[in-house]
Structure 1
Amino acid sequence: MTTPEQQAGIVIRPFTVQIPEEALDDLRRRLATTRWPNRELAGDRTQGVQLATMEALWQYWAKEYEERRVESRLNALPQYVTEIDGVDIHFVHVRSEHEDALPLIMTHGWPGSVIEMIDSVGPLTDPTKHGGTAADAFHLVLPSLPGYGFSGLPTELGWDLARTARAWAELMRRLGYDRYVAQGGDVGAGVTDTMGRQGPEGLAGIHTNLLVPALNDPSSLPATGEAERAALAALKTFQTSGNGYFIEMATRPQTIGYALLDSPSALAAWMIDHDTDSYYKIASAFVDGRPSGNLTRDHILDNITAYWLTGTGTSAARSYWEAYGPDAPAAGSSPLPPPRIPVGFSTFPGEIWRTPRSWAEAIYPTLTHFGEAARGGHFAAWEEPELFAAELRAAFRQLR
């Protein structure tokens, strides 16, 4: 992977995850000394993560989970680190064996990481083994957001969505990709939307599976049909009773961060209390032993364990303060005009709100693909990697 930029002094370093045994000993000790609250008084998740869910998760994590899975799963993929704007950016880079593959940079969100995208690597880079053709192949770049996973922790203010979007464009330039596409969900959808609006040289199209701009002013969006009214109602429910994590991290990330770095059980509870659909799927995986698609106990704990072992609970929370805090633009808003390049969007039935096509068209005048998946939720790439990959193939097919 030697490029002209490396020869000019810009270094891209191979990276291997190496977890010290002492870190695993510390995790075991802290799990063993977990202090439990009494059982919630509501019969559902109204008061937050239910005690039975956490006890089942703890039991598997402390007694059965293979702690070095994070290490082995990531080290099975080519990983690298490069410094961009003062921060070491960790990324997975898997080049397809198919010569005409389309370069794709894909961004995770919170409480996700590159872990949630591992099982989409095969379908995206080697589609001939997953129901696609060689013409559907991607060269795949999976960066860890600054302050997440194995990327460096920002030491100054200013790592908002726009700065991250510019860093991603620089990363693709360093890798020698002069034409590429971008995808994201959750926070990654905000980064990808911003990339599309910035329009860096070489970016040919974007795709998201969360309509982040709808958070800004949903009342301005079409509301004449049943699907639109249902989306508005779901979004209102999220904004009034389901976004506690969002408000805390956007306003007081350091406060919650002390608990996230001190107690693995607190970190796990905080991370699974995201949205109703994914919470109950996670609860079912641990309490009933019934995973939803690829959202298994091991895969869920891979992601939580990665946060714990890298100590990035607080720094990841601070990314919300940067992107959506008191001094940031309103959630989902942007001073930049809509993208001028093709935009693809896919909606999944378990998402926080199911985006109607009219909303996607109102926000993205250059919308060229609107997909409606049969299964999956907020963590679409994680839960349904094959369906997710099929959506990306369809969205970007015309750009090849």
Structure 2
Amino acid sequence: MNLRDFKINIPDESIEDLSRRLRATRWPAAMDADQWDDGASLTFMRRLVEHWSDRFDWRAQEARLNRLPQYMATVDGQDLHFIHQPGNGPSPMPLVLTHGWPGSFIEMERVIPLLADPGAHGGDPADAFHVVVPSLPGFGFSAPPASPGMSAFSIAGWWVKLMNGLGYERFAAQGGDIGAGVSTWLARCFPERVIGVHVNYIPGSYRPPLGPGSPPVTTQEQAYLDTAAAWSSSEGAYAAEQATKPQTLAYAMTDSPAGLAAWIVEKFRAWSDCDGDVERVFTMDELLTDVSIYWFGRMLDASFRIYKENRLRPLTFEASERLATPLGVAAFPRELPTPPRSWVERVFNVQRWTSMPRGGHFAALEQPQLLVEDVRAFFRPLR
């Protein structure tokens, strides 16, 4: 594995181009500029773009992110960007953290020090992890896939090679959103390498075996299936587009920073525990740092296409399959529809299930301390 140091350094001309595009934004009309029922609020988006154009300092964000120990590795010809923070404790456990969409590696910025150096943050040094945070292919600063087929299943194989290249033969995994899919594929395909898996989201493509020989669907499980179907009907248009025609969508988002911001920030508001006010949870600068990483990366076709690849390679199981790898679940109340424990236990070896008091889809950003405490507790008996 070819490994080298990495620092973010966006060219001045790219920043100037973004500034020009923001100033030239063509705004749509809206029947009610303040409401979010039809999508991103026009009033909010005008304010967000004004902040992006006039007050947001990318260079300051870049300098902060460059304090993280970042690297680039070439794995089977694929360039992967990642953070590698060695742990500080008597015997740190290797842990790979995987983000999702519309997040990025910066989702993990707050949890990295808590996991790597618990003793410096009020925790027990015995809970330390060697923390590895890769950027998904086509996200952030990882190169886009060169050919079709790059699903969560494929990425799990790359993560094994990355971790092995760093000297970690066995390791733990944690993730949400697409990262939960990668983590569960690790448990399924590489049980000898994976100590345990902790997730804060159950992949939407997960389907346990049903029918002859399987227990009937319970009332609680059917309620979940009904809720998930209703949610998909009312909120799932973004996923349907990204999973079917990602290239068409990429033209608009690659050309319009305001359009890209609306597409992403609307999800941060809808999926977080913010009670309709996204700024209760995220600052403008936090939102725009994430959006800017997508903008400067110029790989939107790839970051959308992973939905299509995951649709073509869903997480479905045979009737006799049962996974032995320990699984921990942190269930946050404002997460996307979450199945009951029984639904997950049809396949997975669930050893911990925690109903969280607050938080949503972006757990590492919204409630880093709560997430870290659950990760520590889950892996403690597996050390």
The TM-score, its normalising length taken from structure 1, stands at 0.88
Query: Which stretch shows the higher mean deviation, 79-88 or 162-171?
Result: 79-88
2:287 to 300, 322, 333: 300
Q: 1:109 to 1:296 in 2, by over 3 A?
A: same
Note if 1:136 corresponds to 2:127. yes
Check 1:43–1:334 CA distance in 2 against 1; reply closer, same or farther (3 A cut).
farther
- Structure 2 CA distance for aligned equivalents of residues 194 and 353 of structure 1: 20
Aligned match of 2:296: 309
Q: Would the aligned equivalents of 1:130 and 1:386 in 2 still touch at CA under 8 Å?
A: no
Match of 2:219 among 214, 224, 228: 224
**Superimposed CA distance per residue, residues 117-157 of structure 1 (whole angstroms, 9 cap, x where no aligned partner):** 11111111111233321111111000001111100111211
- The question of 1:265 aligning with 2:253 is answered no
1:183-207 C-alpha deviation (Å, 9 max, x unpaired): 1110111111111100254211111
CA distances 1:41-89 after superposition (whole Å, capped 9, x unpaired): 5974332212122112112211221112442232101111111122101
Cα distance in 2 for residues equivalent to 1:124 and 1:142: 12
TM superposition shift of 1:232: 3.8
The DSSP-based 3-state class of the residue aligned with 1:60 is helix
Q: Which residue of 2 aligns with 1:373?
A: 356
Q: How does 1:192-231 map to 2 (within 5 A)?
A: 192-199=183-190, 201-212=192-203, 216=207, 222-225=217-220, 231=224
Counterpart among 98, 110, 130 of residue 119 in structure 1? 110
Q: Distance in 2 between matches of 1:105 and 1:20?
A: 30
Residue 322 of structure 1: how far off its partner (Å):
1.4
Q: Paired residue for 1:182, among 167, 173, 178? A: 173
The offset of 1:237, in angstroms, is 2.5
Which residue of structure 2 lines up, in the alignment, with residue 254 of structure 1?
247
The letter for the 2-side match of 1:343 is L
TM-score (norm 2): 0.92
Task: Select the residue among 301, 305, 320 that pairs with 1:318.
Answer: 305
CA distance in 1, matches of 2:71, 2:203: 29
The CA deviation at 1:355 is: 3.8
The alpha-carbon distance between structure 1 residues 89 and 250, as it changes in their structure 2 partners (threshold 3 A), is same
Look up the equivalent residue of 2:293 and give its one-letter code: A
Cα distance in 1, alignment partners of residues 268 and 19 from structure 2: 28
Is residue 94–residue 131 contact of structure 2 (8 Å, CA) maintained in 1? yes
Aligned in 2, Cα 1:69/1:216: closer, same or farther, shift over 3 Å? farther
Quick one: structure 1 residues 42 and 362, their matched pair in 2 at CA, closer, same or farther if it must change by over 3 Å? farther
Deviation at 1:233, TM superposition (A): 4.4
For residues 284 and 346 of structure 1, do their structure 2 counterparts lie closer, same or farther at Cα, with a shift above 3 Å needed? same
2:331 corresponds to: 347
Could you tell me whether the CA contact under 8 Å between 1:40 and 1:47 is conserved in 2?
no
CA contact (8 A) 1:183 1:192 kept: yes
Q: Which runs of 5+ in 2 are unaligned?
A: none
Q: Partners of 1:102 and 1:383 in 2: how far apart?
A: 24
- AA in 2 matched with 1:360: V
Equivalent in 121, 144, 158 of residue 149 of structure 2: 158
Q: Is the 8 A contact 1:250 1:321 kept in 2?
A: yes
Separation in structure 1 between the aligned mates of residue 293 and residue 336 of structure 2, nearest angstrom: 25
* Structure 1 stretches of at least 4 aligned residues deviating more than 6 Å after TM superposition: 217-221
Q: Judge conservation of contact 1:260–1:314 (CA < 8 Å) in 2.
A: no
Moved more, 214-223 or 254-263: 214-223
> In 2, are the aligned partners of 1:277 and 1:377 still within 8 Å (CA)?
no
Which secondary structure state, in structure 2, belongs to the residue aligned with residue 281 of structure 1? Answer: coil
CA contact (8 A) 1:96 1:137 kept: yes
Letter paired with 1:119:
R
**Secondary structure of 2:167's match?**
coil
Measured in 2, the distance between the counterparts of 1:136 and 1:41 equals: 50
Counterpart Cα distance in 1 of 2:364 and 2:333: 13
CA RMSD in angstroms comes to: 2.4
Q: In 1, distance between residues paired with 2:317 and 2:13?
A: 44
Moved more, 185-194 or 45-54: 45-54
Partner of 1:3: none
Q: Percent identity?
A: 39
Tell me the distance in 2 between the aligned counterparts of 1:311 and 1:318: 13
Give 2:229's aligned residue: 236
Q: Which amino acid aligns with 2:340?
A: P
Kept in 2: contact 1:197–1:339 (CA 8 A):
yes
Partner of 1:104: helix, strand, or coil?
strand
Instruction: Give 1:177 deviation, angstroms.
Output: 0.8
Q: Is the 8 A contact 2:79 2:142 kept in 1?
A: yes
Stretches of structure 1 that go unaligned for 5 or more consecutive residues are 1-9
Alpha-carbon deviations, 1:348-372, whole Å to 9, x = none? 01101244322332341x1111111
What secondary structure does 2:29 align onto? coil
Give, in whole Å, the separation in 1 of the partners of 2:173 and 2:365.
17
Letter in 1 for 2:300: G
Higher mean Cα deviation, 60-69 or 271-280?
271-280
Change (3 A) 1:385 1:176: same
